[in-house]
């Protein structure tokens, strides 16, 4: 797995970084509570080459259109010569699967490799800062998953400590959890949302008198989820996914389409929930053993773009040599 540094490498080079599902604790994590993430085996791949001017997919970089790339270059490439970045991704955008975090982690790995290599804690800290500045709000969860791969928690229990992050007086411990090798199904509703808007709306909801109690419930579910995952107890994980979905409903980020998808999959799954900011985007479900294809079919029939995912084998990484002249 990916605790080792991204090694030095001259340009041109290619990198990859995985997307993610949040299994427990989205939104609550922004308020300091624990979160469990699954970095998935669907990824973003980049190539980075020396160029006459800096471009992304052939178009000159611009801070309004390319806030993530521009901030990544300011943080990790200042004073260096222009580069041409190409990006291809299997991750739908604005759908809760961490496409911007994967882009930032893959670009950070490329720029870090080309400037003498970069260790994981530094890449994770830089990727968090870059995504947060571009997005305006958020936790280091998505970028940590993209940098580290596999199953990771923020401020959780169990597993082993991968690295620690801090910003001002906020602290996060990122832990790696064993991969039970389960197959999950992700289903994209096709409804896009803005993470920042959803985070701000939930923040307003949690300012109500029952906010602290709701956050305590999010925390209990997430910590129990980490224990159940460690015990490979599918039934308990499924029940806790449903409980987490109930809390997300209460704080207002579910959506009728997401509820329809979860209902359609219900007979085939242990449990499921929205994943990411919500208000659209994707659901993630844990199929009953042997019911993976049936869950996939139910979600597809209900109108979603559904696909199976597992834990990614690596986090952000070099993808191999590129021919300096070629394509």
Please pick, from the candidates 66, 89, 100, 139, the single residue that binds ligand MEV as defined by CB under 6 A. 139
Please pick, from the candidates 12, 92, 108, 141, the single residue that binds ligand MEV as defined by CB under 6 A. 141
E-strand spans in 5-95? 13-24, 35-50, 55-56, 59-60, 83-89
Please pick, from the candidates 11, 29, 221, 304, the single residue that binds ligand MEV as defined by CB under 6 A. 29
Please pick, from the candidates 6, 111, 277, 295, the single residue that binds ligand MEV as defined by CB under 6 A. 277
Helix, strand counts (H, E) of the chain:
9, 13
Taking the complex as a whole, how short is the minimal distance between the CB of residue 82 and ligand MEV, in angstroms? 31
Residue 15, class by beta-carbon neighbours within 10 Å (0-12 exposed, 13-18 middle, 19+ buried)?
buried
Per rule CB under 6 A, is residue 18 in the interface with ligand MEV? no
65's CB contacts (< 8 A; 6+ apart) are: 59
Q: Which two tokens stand for residue 273?
A: 């929930």
Please pick, from the candidates 108, 156, 238, 276, the single residue that binds ligand MEV as defined by CB under 6 A. 276
Give the Cα separation of 137 and 125 in Å (integer): 15
Taking the complex as a whole, how short is the minimal distance between the CB of residue 293 and ligand MEV, in angstroms? 28
Please pick, from the candidates 142, 188, 219, 268, the single residue that binds ligand MEV as defined by CB under 6 A. 142
Taking the complex as a whole, how short is the minimal distance between the CB of residue 36 and ligand MEV, in angstroms? 12
Taking the complex as a whole, how short is the minimal distance between the CB of residue 29 and ligand MEV, in angstroms? 5
CA distances from 232 to 38, 180, 182, 226, 227 (A): 15, 6, 9, 10, 9
Q: Which residue is nearest to ligand MEV (CB)?
A: 138
Please pick, from the candidates 72, 73, 109, 199, the single residue that binds ligand MEV as defined by CB under 6 A. 199
What is the residue whose two structure tokens read 């659901």? 283
Give the Cα separation of 145 and 150 in Å (integer): 7
Shorter beta-carbon distance to ligand MEV: residue 107 or 277:
277
Nearest Cα residue to 283 out of 252, 319, 259, 250: 259
Taking the complex as a whole, how short is the minimal distance between the CB of residue 272 and ligand MEV, in angstroms? 17
CB 54 within 8 A of CB 48: no
- Window 53 to 82, contacts with ligand MEV (CB under 6 A): none
Residues in touch with ligand MEV (CB under 6 A): 22, 26-27, 29-30, 96, 138-139, 141-142, 195, 199, 276-277
């Amino acid at each position: 797995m990916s605790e080792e540094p991204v090694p030095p490498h001259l340009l041109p080079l290619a990198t990859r970084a995985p997307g993610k599902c949040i299994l427990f604790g989205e939104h609550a994590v922004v308020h300091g509570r624990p979160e469990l993430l699954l970095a998935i085996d669907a990824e973003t791949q980049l190539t980075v080459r020396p160029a006459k001017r800096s471009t992304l997919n052939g178009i000159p970089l611009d801070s309004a259109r390319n806030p993530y790339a521009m901030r990544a270059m300011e943080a990790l490439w200042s004073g260096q010569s222009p580069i041409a970045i190409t990006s291809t991704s299997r991750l739908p955008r604005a759908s809760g699967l961490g496409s911007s975090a994967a882009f930032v982690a893959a670009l950070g790995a490329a720029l870090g490799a080309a400037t003498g290599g970069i260790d994981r804690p530094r890449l994770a800290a830089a990727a968090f800062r870059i995504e947060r500045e571009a997005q305006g709000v958020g936790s280091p969860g998505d970028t940590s998953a993209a940098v580290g791969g596999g199953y990771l928690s923020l401020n959780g229990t169990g597993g082993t400590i991968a690295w620690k992050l801090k910003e001002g007086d906020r602290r996060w411990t990122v832990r790696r959890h064993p991969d039970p090798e389960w197959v999950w199904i992700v289903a994209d509703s096709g409804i896009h949302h803005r993470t920042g808007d959803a985070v701000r709306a939930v923040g307003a909801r949690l300012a109500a008198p029952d906010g602290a109690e709701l956050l305590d419930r999010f925390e209990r579910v997430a910590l129990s989820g980490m224990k159940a995952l460690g015990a490979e107890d599918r039934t308990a994980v499924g029940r806790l996914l449903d409980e987490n979905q109930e809390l997300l409903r209460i704080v207002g980020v579910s959506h009728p389409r997401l509820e329809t998808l979860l209902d359609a999959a219900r007979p085939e799954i242990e449990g499921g929930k929205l994943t990411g900011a919500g208000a659209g985007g994707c659901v993630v479900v844990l199929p009953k053993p042997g019911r993976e294809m049936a869950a996939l079919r139910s979600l597809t029939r209900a109108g979603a773009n559904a696909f199976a995912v597992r834990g990614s084998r690596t986090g952000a990484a070099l993808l191999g040599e590129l021919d300096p002249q070629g394509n």
